Structure 1
């Protein structure tokens, strides 16, 4: 029972991102350094170089990445039609017939 409890605790910690994987050393050439030294021994020049290779510790990032999910919406079908409310029938509207405006065609227009 204790083993199962410890295993569950480790899995929960790994899922939460608390426990990361092992750290790896990788070559990092941008951080390399070199020293070039020149000396004059007698009548000759002597050069020596000392190079240092750089390594960087890389630890993996363990985390959950939430990715967006597309959602499609659709209208739901209404099974039964809605009943219309009962109302008294409307009376016919009272409208007076419209008379055409009196326009006199051909009348002279006087500039005034």
Structure 2
């Protein structure tokens, strides 16, 4: 009985800590990374991630109160979504608008606004 009184709270605290430490990305963050990915969706995974990182880090203004920092995990998640597309979808995705739409659907994001 004592074991149960100790184990249950410890498990609750442990599960809460694990959930808290997991990265959580907003739909806005995902959409931003999708738009960056779709600027040039060609090249190796490393080249694409490097371009995304440079774009994010170089677009920070000196006077910005909240600066964006590159998240390799989110970039990898976007790349994995692209890799899960069929070859035909990847061919369609070479067009920027189609790319954003396909990746948004794959990531269950709200549809991007038309331009």
Alignment TM-score, normalising by the size of structure 1: 0.23
Q: Which has the higher contact order (CA 8 A, sep 6+)?
A: 2
**Which protein is bigger by CA-based radius of gyration?**
1
Alignment TM-score, normalising by the size of structure 2: 0.23
| Higher share in strand | 1
